[in-house]
Every structure is written in C-alpha cells, then in structure tokens.
Structure 1
Amino acid sequence: MAATAYALHILVKHKEIAEDIIEQLGKGAKFQTLAKKYSSCPSGKKGGDLGEFKRGQMVPQFDKIAFKGALLESHLVKTKFGWHVIKVLYRT
C-alpha cells in the first residue's frame, strides 16, 4: 500500500467547468496550462503541482483518488473546496 502520492490538480467552483477541463485534456491540452488558467488554488500558479504528500493529508474524497485512482488519468472529484480535476503522477 502506497504511503505517498504525487499529484497535480485544478480546483474550480462549478462541475461544468471541471468537465470542460477534462474534455480539453482529452483533446490534448496540457494539464499545467489549464491549471494556470482555471485553478483557484494557489498551486495553479505552479501548473497545479501539489508535490508529494502523505496519505491522510488531503480531504478524504481527494485522498481516495490520490491513493486508489488510476495513475496518469484525469479524475473528477467534489470536496468542500469545490470540484477538482486530479492527475496522480506516481505513488511510493
């Protein structure tokens, strides 16, 4: 079982915007470019880069995707902060 994960994310207020971002990613848009454009999280300035974090550091819904979702795919998840598009790069 992985103890840490490394992820990128884009945080937006509305599901429709998050779904549009996933669609753009599917057409080849760069995650980092979309994060800088859309994300309301301070990590957006760094292309959505959250770096490496431990299990339990993120809210439960985010943690579930970070540690169980498919790697290198875009996932949509709602938390108390809004809608996240998450891409997990690796786990250790």
Structure 2
Amino acid sequence: MAKTAAALHILVKHQDKAYEILKKLEKGENFQKLAKSHSICPSGKKDGGNLGEFRKGAMVPAFDKVCFNAEILTPHLVKTKHGWHIVKILYRT
C-alpha cells in the first residue's frame, strides 16, 4: 500500500463551479491553467494547483481517501471542509 502520493488540485467554494471546471477538463483543457484562473487555494495561483508529494494522513480525510484509493490520472471531485476540490493524482509510492 502506498505511503506517499503527489497531486494537483483546484479548490472552489461551490459545487456547480467544480462541475463546470470538471467538464472543461474532460474536454481537454489544461489542469494547471484552470487552477491558476479558478482555484481559491494559494497553490493554484502559485504552482498551478501542485501540492507536491505528501504522506498518507497529511490531508483532510476525504481528500486523503481520494489520493490514496482512487484511479490515478482521472480527475476526481471531493468535498471537504475547505470547499470542493478537483483532484488529479500524479503518482503514489
């Protein structure tokens, strides 16, 4: 079982905005460009949503669950206390 993962994310406040961005991703738009223009997380503006590598348990539970259990490279939608995240898992080790 993986102990670390790396991911990109786009954080927005509202579910409808998250679905709008998810549809753009499905049409092939660039994840990092969308993060820079829409994410309310500082990682969006600074690094295109790149969270780097993190250990299992370092993120809030719902986010952690997606990063360590969901299919890699498919964007996933997850709600946390911070808002709605569109998550793209880069890898697990």
Q: Under TM normalisation by the shorter chain, which class is it? A: over 0.9
- Cα displacement (A) at 1:82: 0.2
Question: What aligned pairs does 1:53-92 form with structure 2 within 5 A after superposition?
Answer: 53-92=54-93
Q: How many residues align?
A: 92
Report the RMSD for the aligned CA atoms in angstroms: 0.4
Moved over 2 A (4+): none
- Cα displacement (A) at 1:62: 0.1
CA distance in 1, matches of 2:42, 2:72: 23
- Cα displacement (A) at 1:36: 0.1
Question: What aligned pairs does 1:3-42 form with structure 2 within 5 A after superposition?
Answer: 3-42=3-42
1:21-79 residue CA offsets vs partner (Å, 9 max, x unmatched): 11000011000000000000010021000000000000000000000010001000000
Gaps of 5+ in 2: none
Gaps of 5+ in 1: none
Q: Share of identical aligned residues, percent?
A: 62
Query: Is the partner of 2:6 in helix, strand or coil?
Result: strand
